[in-house]
Structure 1
């Protein structure tokens, strides 16, 4: 029955997308909306779109390849030559070198196609924001989230839950395959709502609050930790904008106390889900313990994540110098371990080596630095805290392994390079503007 509901909601969302992109919508935004909608639509029917179909590629994979290829043809070359993207190319080079050294060609192609998907989506949003503005871009982009958000609400109403934890808790993921990927859809939705301006959409604050509630019901604790700083900045800014200067000090002090109390209340109600986090923080040295020395109780910490990390770290530390520098290659973990690392930094250390991890951390740090330089102070806070939350999330899961996580990161980076792009060289600015106007 729920599959039929998925199809119906999918058709309705397609009609909404068509009406949006045929209205006052530039072609770059239309591309971004269609790309995101297509991913969410295909992922909803995972029993059909996940299994390999042609030459080992699934329908989902073929869709991602198609989007990346079309984006490369659509986005002006000048966008890809922005100096702000240089740290990303350093990281992409590290992936390619690791794959060449280890002759992991299929894994390398797979990894680079995913990052190409990210690059074209970020570029499309960059051009759209410069053309129609941030608020208009993200108001229209919300239509791409109609299907997954609606399906989650319906799954809650109809009791369509997925049992995912040993403690008996359930995840409401709207019939999608995994709560990790679905949580990134809701995180992206929260972020996009937060980027729209006041009174630009009806019931904006209520919609933002509802999305926070939906994320909690996804029951994926790392995503909840990611969104907390974004939520705090959103509510804080909402109240601050309504106050006169003389009212700000006393009122914001009270608001801060309320936010802290709300955080403590949430922590208490979900204390069993987060108890392992405190245990890990008090025993950080356990991460570097060899897997063979883990007790049964220690293997269960954070749903066995710590035990999994130790396997990767132990394999890396016992490798020869070449593999420690360049790693074992993209997707090499699949031949050595039963489960992916559940930690982006640990996984990249194993796959891409010291140089790969260094370039990845450098890329993330650079983006955070640009976020702090954004001219709008409120937007700067939202972007900076979003990135900080995302960095934390990567400690306990791998959002960038999924296209859904790359979509979120592309939205963040698209906004950042748009603002910082105004400070780039005059020559690059003129090139992008001329190409943009000529293609409208």
Structure 2
């Protein structure tokens, strides 16, 4: 039954994407739209596209390799050599060194293909934004999200639900394979809507609220937590634009307490789902210990994430100095641990060592700083909050481990490094307090 729904909406999405890229769309923007749509399209039919087809590669894997390769050929070399990407290339170098020293060639290839996908999409977005502006790019990219968004809505209406693998709770994910990857798709959709300037598209606020609602029914706690900073800034920017200058200070104080109250109400209404999060935050000191000292009850906290982290950190602490510096190699967790780390920072520390993790954090910090320097203060604030939300997501899952998460990060970085002078000139600036924050 739901397969027919998938086929119908897949056909409709194909037509919409064709119309979008055939009308006033440069080749870089067309590539970005098609790359996203193709990934979402193939993932919707995971029963077919996830199985090995040729030499152990699935249709999904072949498509990802093709997109990464074509994108790197399409994007000009001077874009790939931007100084703002220097720290990312240093991070890539640390991955390569770790893979070669540990002889983990297969894992190295798998990881670098994913990062090449990220690079090609980021470069294409950079060029597209430079040519037509970020609002037009974001508006066109919304078409690529029609299929996953519509399928999730239909799965909710038709009662096509999936039991979460972690705790058996209900997740509506439109017939996709896993709630983690799917929630990143919806988070990307919500982000794209949030980054578009007010009044540039119709029903912007409604679409943003739809994205937040869809994230909640996707029922992946990490993504719900990650969207909170984005939702708070979206609401703040939307209201602040309508407040006279003389009332800005009063509005700032009121907004702070209002958002805090809403957060408390949401926390109370979803306390059963997020109970483990609060248990973790209130007992974190007691949980910092070797895995063999965890009780059965402690092993279940936060869907066993804390226990999993302790396993990785314990093995890391027992390693020699070389492994602590460069790690055990890309995807070296496979075969050593029953599950992946469910924490980007813990995973990077184990796989790429202290060197790779520090370089990655420096790269993240540089992008945060770059976002704060964007002249359009409302856009800069939204982008900065989105990056913070992504970092929250990385704390309890691994978005940079799969293509869907890399798409989300590419959207963030593409908007961050694109030329500031092409942002919409008619957007008003944010309040003076934010300007002071930027100068710090």
Flag whether TM exceeds 0.5 (same fold): yes
Distance 1:286 1:346, change over 3 A: farther
Which deviations, in whole Å up to 9, do the C-alpha atoms of 1:322-380 show, x marking residues without a partner? 21111111011101111000001111111111111111111111111111111111111
Note the 1:30-429 alignment, pairs <5 A. 30-164=30-164, 168-419=168-419
Distance 1:337 1:68, change over 3 A: same
TM-score normalised to the size of structure 1? 0.93
Gaps of 5+ in 1: 423-440
Q: Secondary structure at the match of 1:53?
A: strand
User: CA shift at 1:259, angstroms?
Assistant: 2.3
* Distance in 2, Cα, partners of 1:166 & 1:49: 24
Contact 2:130–2:419, Cα closer than 8 Å, also in 1: no
* Distance in 2, Cα, partners of 1:317 & 1:255: 44
Distance 1:166 1:56, change over 3 A: closer
Q: Secondary structure at the match of 2:205?
A: helix
Q: Secondary structure at the match of 2:53?
A: strand
Which deviations, in whole Å up to 9, do the C-alpha atoms of 1:187-207 show, x marking residues without a partner? 100110011122221111111
* Distance in 2, Cα, partners of 1:135 & 1:169: 37
In the alignment, which residue of structure 2 is the partner of 1:12? Answer: 12
Distance 1:324 1:421, change over 3 A: farther
Distance 1:68 1:421, change over 3 A: farther
Contact 1:370–1:420, Cα closer than 8 Å, also in 2: no
Which deviations, in whole Å up to 9, do the C-alpha atoms of 1:280-306 show, x marking residues without a partner? 222223454111111000000000001
* Distance in 2, Cα, partners of 1:168 & 1:32: 36
User: CA shift at 1:61, angstroms?
Assistant: 0.8
Gaps of 5+ in 2: 423-440
Distance 1:106 1:168, change over 3 A: closer
Which deviations, in whole Å up to 9, do the C-alpha atoms of 1:18-59 show, x marking residues without a partner? 000000111100000000000000111111111222112111
* Distance in 1, Cα, partners of 2:372 & 2:249: 23
Contact 2:167–2:303, Cα closer than 8 Å, also in 1: no
Contact 1:126–1:417, Cα closer than 8 Å, also in 2: yes
Contact 2:195–2:383, Cα closer than 8 Å, also in 1: no
User: CA shift at 1:255, angstroms?
Assistant: 3.9
Contact 1:43–1:176, Cα closer than 8 Å, also in 2: yes
* Distance in 2, Cα, partners of 1:221 & 1:421: 37
Distance 1:174 1:275, change over 3 A: same
User: CA shift at 1:257, angstroms?
Assistant: 3.2
